[in-house]
Structure 1
Amino acid sequence: MEKELERPTQLITRKFAKDLHLNFMKYRASIIAKYIKKEDANAVWFSVEELENYIEYIKSKGEKTGYDVNGIRIYFGVYPEQKKYAEKAGLMTVFLQATGKKIRTNTKNEVQTFALLREESNADISSIEPMNYGSIGRPPSLNY
């Protein structure tokens, strides 16, 4: 029997998404373009396969390194102005970083020696590499 998926609670309407993107273009992208003297990236694309692979990778590596992976934090970044980054040089990007809670064993009480305790935090997990190198979108070729 196939598991019925729950509708995510964070979904927004396409109209609100368009408004958010237009606000970005009006209040951020235009300022950035004036400052850097070129049009910047306005979107980053990852395939479903890439995202699923990264999620499986961080879960597995987290387990191996003693973490309960509980999320992905998305950071903004800017590529260095170097030839090796070609058309991405100097443009915005996003990268994904696994977050989670360290799992440790309790050695203070012999009865609970192997019990797992979870730290209360959603911190970046520095032992898991971030993911980058999605495809960037730039005006006027990409508008929401």
Structure 2
Amino acid sequence: MKNFGLLVLGIILGALAMYFYCCNDGDLAVEEPTKPSGLISSKDAKVLDEAYNIKHRIINDSLFKKSTDGGDNRSSWWSTEDIQNYINHAENQAGELGYTMDGLRVYLGSYPQVDGQEGLTTMFFVPTGTENTSKGSMSPIVFGSSEDIPGGDGLNVGGTGNPPGANYPH
């Protein structure tokens, strides 16, 4: 009976020690998220945006004849929820297609001309990855850039800029 009492006391003391060790929010260091490669500052983004102005003017002026509605799109917007859901969908689909998804590629596109009106520019994501091979494969490992996954769904229909031709930041 004496040993049982010591066992219970040990469990209680161990639980208290674990509580103070694991659950004391004031003393725990917050781990900072890993920064992605290719990260640029808002100043760098502004430089890139301003450098695009001449190309945008040429496209806008030649296709939209000085339109009053803001002209062609310069940006697209997606909610973080839509992007996270898309990544989950694309990873599942890549697996079903026999690929391992390792990234996303962004393409510039344009909607087709309808009733004499030029289609606006759009941006869309497609999944990229490598084809799965069996573990017993004798083929050499090929290193290089990731390829678009054939048959993988893309993500389009982001919100347009406000107004469509607005520069960064808006």
TM-score, with length taken from structure 1: 0.78
1:100 pairs, out of 123, 129, 132, with 129
What residue identity is the alignment partner of 1:14?
Answer: S
CA separation in 2, counterparts of 1:133 and 1:9? 26
Which amino acid in the other structure matches residue 93 of structure 1? T
The Cα offsets for residues 56-111 of structure 1, whole Å up to 9 and x where unpaired, read as 1111111122101011111110111227xxx9x611111111111001226xxxxx
Q: Distance in 2 between matches of 1:122 and 1:69?
A: 9
Aligned twin of 1:32 = 59
Give the equivalent residue in structure 2 for 1:77.
109
Match of 2:82 in 1: 50
1:14 corresponds to which of 13, 32, 42: 42
Higher Rg of the two aligned structures: 2
Q: 2:156 matched to 1:132?
A: yes
Question: In structure 2, the residue corresponding to 1:81 is in which secondary structure?
Answer: coil
Distance 1:4 1:14 in 2: 20
Q: Is the 8 A contact 2:108 2:124 kept in 1?
A: yes
- Pick from 28, 51, 63: which aligns with 1:23? 51
**By how many angstroms is 1:118 displaced?**
6.5
Which AA in structure 2 matches 1:90?
A: G
Distance 1:64 1:42 in 2: 34
List per-residue Cα deviations over 1:20-55 (Å, max 9, x = no partner): 111112x21110112102421011111101100110
Quick one: structure 1 residues 141 and 97, their matched pair in 2 at CA, closer, same or farther if it must change by over 3 Å? closer
Gaps of 5+ in 1: 107-111
Structure 2: give runs of 5+ residues left out of the alignment: 1-21, 23-29
Runs of 4 or more, structure 1, over 2 Å off, are 1-4, 117-121, 138-143
Higher strand proportion? 1
Instruction: Give the CA RMSD over aligned residues.
Output: 2.7
- Aligned length in residues: 132
The answer as to whether partners of 1:75 and 1:94 remain within 8 angstroms in 2 is: yes
Q: 1:80 to 1:141 in 2, by over 3 A?
A: closer
| Identity over aligned pairs, percent | 32
Residue 123 (1) aligns with residue 150 (2): no
Q: Output the CA distance in 2 between the equivalents of 1:118 and 1:68.
A: 15
